[in-house]
Amino acid sequence: MKNQVVIITGASSGIGKALAFEFGRQGAIIVITGRNQSKLNEAASELQAANILQHAIVCDSSSEEQTRKMIQEVVDRFGRIDLLINNAGISMRSMFETVDLQVLKQVMDINFWGTVYATHAALPYLKQSKGGIIGISSIAGYRGLPVRTGYSASKFAMNGFLEALRTELIGTGVHVLTACPGFTASNIRNASLTGDGSIAGETMREEDKMMSAEEVAFEIRKAYEAKKKTLVLTFQGKLTVFLNKWLNSLMDNLVYNTLKKEKDSPLT
């Protein structure tokens, strides 16, 4: 990764920031994006303190215009793009019956369309460098989760998009990896949207019992270096994907009963 230009969307915290450190320590030039200027500046300062060459760009991934400007700024500054990591994402937690549909649209705009916008804008440069694309998806892209209909829909869409794109790009030298962490200790649940679109502000799960963002980032880098097409993390995640494929009815009940135990779950 020495001197390769790596763009990571939504990298001011969580898995995105951990990926910035993971690839940066391999000698890559790291470009981080995010919507919050102060958090982005803080992450950039941390990377700089670790002697990682970095550049921060304020960018709302749900905006095609901002995303295209971001990609152009990277090309103008560094002359190339070697790896695009589509990490920007948001979650939601609400029963579908009572959710404001704008919440689902917002989740889809960031998680799915954000991936589409960045990939479309960066693809010509990635083909020139024979680089790569990583999509940070979720187990929810394989198995729909109750109370997270919008989130699951966005990740299913992301998985299908990346699989189709990977197939289109055969012979171009561009590698595509779809990475699906299980529940990871990060701020995504604190920042998840409720049914009315407000920010939850707290997690509903035991964060200390999950994989850390740093562990996830390490596994993703190793999978990318090994040219894997997909990465499903944690035993629970692998088991969920396997059982959902072969024992779908059983999984309905298992998933329901598991998520019913979450703090303040609306499931009864």
Contacts of 127 by beta carbon, 8 Å cutoff, 6+ apart: 172, 173, 174
Q: Whose CA is closest to 70, among 32, 13, 108?
A: 32
Give the model's pLDDT for residue 187: 59
142 is catalytic: no
Would you state the pLDDT for residue 210?
72
pLDDT per residue as tens, the chain (268 positions): 889 999 999 999 999 999 999 999 999 999 999 999 999 999 999 999 999 999 999 999 999 999 999 999 999 999 999 999 999 999 999 999 999 999 999 999 999 999 999 999 999 999 999 999 999 999 999 999 999 999 999 999 999 999 999 999 999 999 999 999 977 665 554 567 777 667 765 555 455 567 889 999 999 999 999 999 999 998 888 988 999 888 888 888 888 888 888 888 888 7
Provide the token pair at 203: 């997690």
- Let me know: does 211 contact 184? Beta carbons within 8 Å: yes
Among residues 117, 125, 142, 151, which one is catalytic? 151
Fold for 5-237, please state it. Answer: Rossmann fold (3.40.50)
52 to 20, 43, 82, 86, 213: CA distances (angstroms): 9, 11, 17, 20, 18
According to the model, what pLDDT value does residue 193 have? Answer: 78
Per domain, the residue ranges of the chain are 5-237
Q: Which residues pair with 178 in a beta bridge?
A: 135, 230
Which residues make Cβ contacts (< 8 Å) with residue 224, sequence separation at least 6? 83, 132, 134, 175, 177
User: How much is the pLDDT for 189?
Assistant: 46
